[in-house]
Structure 1
Amino acid sequence: MAKQTLHRGRLIDHLQLVVNDLPASRRFYGAVFQALEIPVGGAGEDYFWADELFVSTADSRAAQGELTGRQHFAFQARDRAMVDAFHRAALANGGRDHGAPGERPYHPGYYAAFVLDPDGNNIEAVHHGQAERSAGSVEIVF
């Protein structure tokens, strides 16, 4: 059996969005992931995933016929340029502006952009300014 390695963040193990229009979501998130340099981890007829985010149709086994409600979550960006690229890519691929790139008052250096995905979820990309990470991710090998 081949070894598999996963990388996970600090708090959330995974998120699932259940969407109305999977092809529209594939286009939107594919462009967003490319701008953020996040590889798509896998895809099937009724789902796709990247890192901790799983996106599926209501017909997928995990969704059990139910759509998710309006969600908000943020992707981490390496720098301000990556936040700007996220915003441009999202708008060019079916997203709607919900807050142009800029500094926010949450803490000094908080630079973010907000878009609504094709299902109305509030998706953010944020760069927290100069900071030092203890690790790029948590590595899980099984």
Structure 2
Amino acid sequence: MDINELHRGRLIDHLQLVVRDLDASRDFYSAVFDILQVPMGGVEDDFFWADEFCVSTAESAAAQGELTGRAHVAFQAADEAMVDAFHAAALAHGGTDHGAPGKRPYHPGYYAAFVLDPDGNNIEAVYHGPAQRSAESVKVSF
């Protein structure tokens, strides 16, 4: 995938995390994306990306020398087993537990796990339940 490929109509154009240790983050996110079946888009000396998610060093041109603050990023999982595997892989690759896999009260069927990445970002994998549930029937509370 070309990093300059444009996808009109998406809510999020891209998300960039600027991290202290790119190698630690690359190990963490490579393991997470492998479980979530998201291919790595590319790897350069000072950044890597998958889909519209980019992780870079503070020295990369886009970062302008600043680390990002802590963020919460939620990735979609295909099922509960994928959430469980995400959590295990994240912990095995430098993540810290921030909420074991399980049902959450946000809406019926919400199954998620939370970890802190090597920079303290709150990374979640979530399965929203069976696909037959319509978007109109799901109310999300934050």
Q: Deviation per CA, 1:56-80, whole angstroms, max 9, x where unpaired? A: 0000000010000000010000000
- How far apart, in 2, do the equivalents of 1:9 and 1:28 lie? 30
1:121 alignment partner in structure 2: 121
Q: Is 1:72 matched up with 2:75?
A: no
CA distance change for structure 1 residues 43 and 75 in 2, over 3 Å: closer, same or farther?
same
Q: Please, which runs of 5 or more residues in structure 2 have no aligned partner?
A: 135-142
Identity over aligned pairs, percent: 77
Which runs of structure 2 are paired with 1:16-27 in the superposition (5 Å)? Answer: 16-27=16-27
Given residue 15 of structure 1, which amino acid in structure 2 is its aligned partner?
Answer: L
- How far apart, in 2, do the equivalents of 1:44 and 1:108 lie? 41
CA distance change for structure 1 residues 56 and 5 in 2, over 3 Å: closer, same or farther?
closer
- The TM-score with structure 1 as length reference comes to 0.86
- How far apart, in 1, do the equivalents of 2:131 and 2:36 lie? 18
Given residue 76 of structure 2, which amino acid in structure 1 is its aligned partner?
Answer: Q
2:54 alignment partner in structure 1: 54
CA distance change for structure 1 residues 35 and 6 in 2, over 3 Å: closer, same or farther?
farther
Paired residue secondary structure (2:24): helix
- How far apart, in 2, do the equivalents of 1:44 and 1:122 lie? 24
Higher relative contact order (CA 8 A, sep 6+): 1
Given residue 131 of structure 1, which amino acid in structure 2 is its aligned partner?
Answer: A
> Retained in 2: the 8 A contact 1:18–1:56?
yes
Q: Which runs of 4+ in 1 moved over 4 A?
A: 4-10
Q: Deviation per CA, 1:30-68, whole angstroms, max 9, x where unpaired? A: 000001000000110000000111000000000010000
CA distance change for structure 1 residues 8 and 100 in 2, over 3 Å: closer, same or farther?
farther
Shift, 1:12, TM fit: 1.4
Paired residue secondary structure (1:115): strand
- The TM-score with structure 2 as length reference comes to 0.86
- How far apart, in 1, do the equivalents of 2:76 and 2:22 lie? 23
Paired residue secondary structure (1:40): coil
Q: Please, which runs of 5 or more residues in structure 1 have no aligned partner?
A: 135-142
Shift, 1:126, TM fit: 0.2
